[in-house]
Amino acid sequence: MKNLTVANIATSCNGKVFNYDLNNDETIKGVAIDSRKIEEGFLYIPFVGERVDGHKFIPDVFAKNAMITLSEQDLGDVTYPYILVDSTAKAIKDIAQFYRESLDVKVVGITGSVGKTSTKEIVASVLEQKYKVLKTEGNFNNEIGLPLTIFRLTEDIEICVLEMGISEFEEMHRIAKVAKPDVCVITNIGTCHLENLGDRDGVLKAKTEIFDYMNPSGAIILNGDDDKLITIKDYNGIEPMFFGKSDLFSAYPLEVRKEGLGGTYVLLNCLGRTIEATVPIPGEHMVGNALAASLVGDYFGLDISEIKQGIESLKPVSGRNNHIKTDKYLVIDDCYNANPMSMKAAIDVLAMADTRKVAVLGDMFELGADEEKLHAEVGEYASKKDIDVLVCVGGLSKNMFDAATKELSDNNMMMYYFKDLDELKSSLFGILKMGDTILVKASNGMHFKEVVEMLVK
């Protein structure tokens, strides 16, 4: 890994080296925070968790020929090399920042309340038509995951597409300092993490911290249909490019044609260029994602055919609007996470199905003082859509169930409520019918992945 010698690692994180010759200019071969993933020549970074202290596995990593480890503890009379630091949580970011700055790579940083992952995927799909691209995998979008993604960069990578998630003020500052994005994309400002951020104005403030460490010659790409984002006029002389429904924006749709669960045909205008494509994943929000991706593609010099090919090459991600066809059902696996905006968008996708439509919805977490009201709003929303069966699961989702029940006079939707996952699992197959299209969605802490696994096995 370029420039990641032990001496440079120690300097970057203000650490003190023990049992290592600093004249040795060999570089590490990788970084891991899980001792089971250590390979020869790796740097090990132990963390103290709620249940496990990673420091206890330090001897194990040297049995696997790790080059060196960080440690928050004075390890005493040992022979293996280590770097003593005040905080491994801070050190991992400091080292990743040093490594990112040593590489000739462009970074696209993507944040927002909803749609970060789907936007990241389509942006990466577009850029891959011309460049060697690395993108965030899984949930590696926070203060530990983002540095680990940076450590996956190799010298041949030309563009890194980073999903950047936060839940509190100043967190974006800390990860943006590592990422130093050349292009910043914000998908929307919603009702996420209100426990810490207060309200949507707080979310806006926290998300736009991404600008503070961006390339001063870079680009800002924002959803112009969002009432908060449209108020941003410029940042340090950078005038945002907006995407959305208005023909006053830099990218907007000329024609949109829904093709059911098969996706959406779009004819879009991107900075005066007309691009025709079919977004293979359904949902109105995917049109906005395609608009954002077209602007990123244009910024990096892609032609119309490359942008079109990138949009149409998009693949679904497990847990994120991933459609799984079995011999009994079509399962819409959207169980990775949930908030009111994404829940309503997923209901809209389910409503496109031409079979019996079943929504299995669970609790949404980190919504703050208005959590009951926000769950009720989702229930009311679902009751007004063309959904045949609504299944609500969890303590908070009782508000969803009750709100939907009040609307049943206008709707023939069947409704069920279960207090927890175990109750659901024991009853679900008695509710379902052959040929159903089933949406499975809740916050990750509800463990609805188990529901998907039950349906598709």
> Which residues in the chain are classed under CATH 3.40.1390.10?
6-88
402-416 residue pLDDT tens: 999 987 756 689 999
pLDDT at residue 360, as a whole number: 97
> Which residues in the chain are classed under CATH 3.90.190.20?
322-456
Asked if residue 28 has pLDDT above 80, the reply is yes
Pick from 171, 223, 226: nearest CA to 193:
171
- Rounded-to-integer distance, Cα 365 and Cα 397, Å: 11
Asked if residue 3 has pLDDT above 80, the reply is yes
Please give the torsion angle defined by the CA atoms of residues 38, 39, 43 and 48, in that order, rounded to the nearest 10 degrees: 10
**The tokens of 103 are what?**
């590489």
Asked if residue 274 has pLDDT above 90, the reply is yes
Give the pLDDT band (50/70/90) at residue 356.
very high
> Which residues in the chain are classed under CATH 3.40.1190.10?
103-312
pLDDT at residue 409, as a whole number: 59
- Rounded-to-integer distance, Cα 381 and Cα 211, Å: 34
314-349 residue pLDDT tens: 998 877 888 999 999 999 999 988 999 899 999 999
pLDDT at residue 84, as a whole number: 98
What letter does residue 272 receive in the DSSP assignment?
T
pLDDT at residue 411, as a whole number: 66
Q: Which residues contact 174 (CB under 8 A, 6 or more apart)?
A: 93, 143
The CATH H-level (homologous superfamily) assignment of domain 103-312 is Mur-like, catalytic domain (3.40.1190.10)
Please give the torsion angle defined by the CA atoms of residues 403, 406, 410 and 413, in that order, rounded to the nearest 10 degrees: 60
**Concatenated DSSP letters of 48-90:** B-SS-BGGGGHHHHHHTT-SEEEESS---S--S-EEE-S-HHH
Q: Which residues contact 47 (CB under 8 A, 6 or more apart)?
A: 33, 54, 88, 89, 144
Give the pLDDT band (50/70/90) at residue 134.
very high
- Domain 6-88: give its CATH code: 3.40.1390.10
What letter does residue 5 receive in the DSSP assignment?
B
Q: Which of 106-110, 176-180, 361-365, 408-412 has the lowest mean pLDDT?
A: 408-412
Give the pLDDT band (50/70/90) at residue 260.
confident
Give the pLDDT band (50/70/90) at residue 421.
very high
* Mean pLDDT estimate for the chain: 95
- Rounded-to-integer distance, Cα 25 and Cα 333, Å: 48
Task: Say if strands 16-18 and 82-84 run parallel, antiparallel, or are unpaired.
Answer: antiparallel
The kind and range of the H/E element at 380 are helix 371-383
Q: Which fold has domain 322-456?
A: Protein-Tyrosine Phosphatase; Chain A (3.90.190)
